[in-house]
Chains A and B, each alone.
Chain A
Amino acid sequence: MIRIENLSKQYGDAVVLDIPELTIEAGQRFGLVGNNGAGKTTLFSLLLDLIQPTSGSVHSKAVRVDASEDWKAYTGSYIDESFLIGFLTPEEYFNFVGGLYGMSPADVMAFLQRFEILFNGEILDSGKYVRDMSKGNQKKIGIAAAMLGEPDIIILDEPFANLDPSSQIRLKQLIGELPEQQTLLISSHDLAHVTEVCQRIVLLERGKVIRDITDAPDRTMEELEAYFAGS
């Protein structure tokens, strides 16, 4: 689904990301963990062609993400607030994003049904613009918009941050309910959440992949805790 080859990103002399090879299969639940500055957001930004690699390439399905826009039709993403439009109400925002994927307002509302519990009655019909909402509610809006249109690939940066405990649990359920063929990439500081929803965990340190755990999901947590306690 996604193939990374010799990917690196440098700012001046500082190498912030250096991944010789990484392949993410269709339907995989892929978790990216690492401390601040490990390169998680940089990697996701490269996958979305928001920044240009110093060397190497990212292929999504068969196309290079920086050579074609085809991947956008089947990729949903939420990185940060720069993916939100502050002067719209949540409904208007969902309709705008849904419209990009050819969804009518009725389609959008039907789709959003599944987010009812996550939204907790604070998002739809709130009478507020997105810019006036709390960080947590903004994140919920961003996550829901990323999933609009049932894209083949969903990329979420730190989806659990800023959410209250109930919302975190609900989000994990929502992720569990995603269709099997959907590929999900999330990054997180929170080891418990990410190990719970992902079969594959990749650990980044200073831009390099230092662990790639695919088997033995029961031991993942131990291994990660040992790493973060030690470093």
Chain B
Amino acid sequence: MVYRLLRHSFLSQVRSPFWERSLIVNILLALLALYLLLNFLAIGYFLDVILAESFSGQDIIAVANGFLLYTLLGGLFARFMVQNFPVLDMQPYLLLPIKRNRLYHFLLLRSVFNLVNLMPLVVALPFALKVVYHRLGTVSGTVWLATILALSLTNHFLAFYLKRQFNLRPLAIVGLLVLLGGLVTLDVQGVVSLAAAFGQGIMMIVEQPVLLLLPIAILLGVYGLLYRAMHYYSYLDTVEQKREQVQSGKGIAALRRLGMAGHFLQLELRQIWRNKRPRTMLIMSLFFLLYPMLMIMDDGDDAGGSSGLGFFIILIALSFPMVNYGQFLIAWESRYFNLLMARHAPLKDYLKGKYYLFLFFNVIGFLVCLVYGFLDAAFFPIVLSAFLFISGTTVYIMLFLATYNTRAVDPAKSAFMNWEGVGGSQFLMILPAFFLPLPIYFLLLFFTGETWALVAMGGIGILGMALFRPILRQIEKQLQARKHILIDSYKQ
């Protein structure tokens, strides 16, 4: 039986739609995974050197143990974001004559075998072999390694559990986070010394191997907790009951003044707000707007500079929300695209709504980036010029290329490690959006100097905005021509 379950899970991996992407994307992803793994391996192998240089004179193992608490907390956070409770895999088997208990154990144990769990091992093992075994002897070294692995496995299951709890009682988890954050702050400021105490705890286990039972007991405890949750969730109606009541919104009154385009904009804003993936992606893009800040802090006074770097960075930061969301434009709506095509939804207004949405993103970016102007006046013209250029050119490029987004996207799924909808067209969109303006700018910069280059870029943007109607008409024709291809490829 277990063999058959294993075989099914193997098939589900092999036949997963995950692989049904272009070969290039698969290769890139594999390279990315390999790269991460190698990075972690390098960290593990050189950890002793790194620690010895940064904390000369201290015992490396004690220093490493001192960092452990934060590493684990960071790991827990990352897992919380990335991992999904394996409860859904269970449904097809529930009606079959398999003992439920066995199914729970199987799913929980299977979840252990993934790339994320390889990471702690890849870091800890080289360090253990190179330093811990050497210094403390085989028994203690093994105990140390076992403790670390038990703790990271605890993390693995705890992340599932917390995620479930987060869906049930978000406030409790937020409270927990605040508490944890407070403790960490106190620890960093030296009021209490949590991390150090934790490190000493690890050393005690190493000195008294019997104490290894403690982390193992914790691991089993968390496993048991999850096992019980699994049992609870194996009844289909439990998820259903928890769903809270939603209220119908009246919509934003001001959007009505935009007419039919406002009608579509309203829909798209709701689409963003009520679906996990676009919402998370946009919130993350806001952080990207802070990116130029690093450069200003790094570079002191000559941040704007005549090197063109300032323009480059502002341009990317400004267009990031638009490009990040826009790379799946139209594909976000794959679920109800037939409605838009079969009912009285004028394509012109549909596209205009998206133009306004992008403009809205750009204005927010513009306002945030204006702050850099206050920090360094040289940024004012750069931000204005980049804003005008994006709103008059990149916006149209995104709208036009969106008609090539033939991969359906389910926006309700998580944003993390989600490659649904990613294909060649994303590269085609992101590259010109970010990098087409640059050669133009650098050419202008070379021939006319910074001031005129900025004026010219802004001028191109204004020209683009002035040509709004004819350009939009061309994009409308393009969408009309691609309509049947999109409908066909969004069919499930």
Interface residues, chain A, CB within 8 Å of chain B?
48-52, 69, 72-73, 75-77, 79-80, 82-92, 95-97, 99-101, 127-129, 131-132, 149
Contacts and interface: CB of A to CB of B under 8 A. Distances in A.
- Chain B interface extent, by class: 20 to 34
8 closest A-B pairs by CB: A127-B245, A82-B338, A87-B274, A91-B248, A72-B344, A48-B342, A89-B248, A83-B339
B336 A50 contact: no
Nearest to A92: B248
Contacts of A131: 412
A85 B338 CA distance: 10
B274 A73 contact: no
A115 to B, nearest CB: 16
8 contacts: A51-B484, A80-B338, A83-B339, A91-B248, A99-B260, A100-B345, A128-B243, A131-B412
Contacts of A84: 336, 339
A133 to B, nearest CB: 11
Interface string B246-268: 11110100000000100100110
A82 B245 contact: no
B425 interface: no
Nearest to A86: B335
Given A85-B336, A92-B270, A99 B346 contact: no
A50 B487 contact: yes
A39 B395 CA distance: 41
B248 A100 contact: no
Interface in B319-358: 335-339, 341-347
Contacts of B337: 82
B478 interface: no
A91 B251 CA distance: 12
Contact of B344 (A91, A101, A128): A101
Contact of A83 (B247, B263, B338): B338
Contacts of B341: 48-50
B488 A86 contact: no
A127 B246 contact: yes
A22 to B, nearest CB: 20
A46 to B, nearest CB: 11
Interface string B225-255: 0000000000000000001011111010000
B488 A51 contact: yes
Contacts of A127: 245-247
B111 interface: no
Contacts of B344: 72-73, 75, 100-101, 149
B133 to A, nearest CB: 55
B406 to A, nearest CB: 15
Contacts of A149: 344
B275 interface: yes
Nearest to B349: A100
Interface of B: 243, 245-249, 251, 260, 263, 266-267, 270-271, 274-275, 335-339, 341-347, 411-412, 484, 487-488, 490-491
B338 A92 contact: no
- Of A50, A84, A91, A132, the most chain B CB neighbours within 10 A belong to A50
Given A100-B344, A128-B246, A87 B339 contact: no
Nearest to A85: B336
B270 A51 contact: no
B171 to A, nearest CB: 20
B100 to A, nearest CB: 26
Contacts of B345: 72, 100
Given A92-B248, A96-B266, A100-B343, 12 more contacts: A51-B488, A69-B347, A79-B338, A82-B338, A82-B491, A85-B336, A86-B412, A99-B263, A101-B344, A128-B245, A129-B246, A149-B344
Nearest to B274: A87
A85 B267 contact: yes
Contacts of A95: 251
A82 B490 CA distance: 9
A79 B337 CA distance: 12
A125 to B, nearest CB: 8
B412 to A, nearest CB: 7
A50 B338 contact: yes
B484 A82 contact: no
A89 B275 CA distance: 14
Given A85-B267, A127-B247, A97 B343 contact: yes
A50 B337 CA distance: 10
Contact of B336 (A52, A75, A83, A101): A83
Contacts of A88: 267, 270
- Of A75, A91, A95, A100, the most chain B CB neighbours within 10 A belong to A100
Contacts of B487: 50-51
B302 to A, nearest CB: 48
Given A72-B343, A77-B342, A87 B412 contact: yes
Given A50-B338, A92-B248, A69 B346 contact: yes
Contact of B342 (A72, A86, A96): A72
Contacts of B488: 51
Nearest to A51: B484
Given A82-B335, A92-B248, A52 B342 contact: no
Contacts of B484: 50-52
Nearest to B334: A82
Contacts of A129: 246, 274
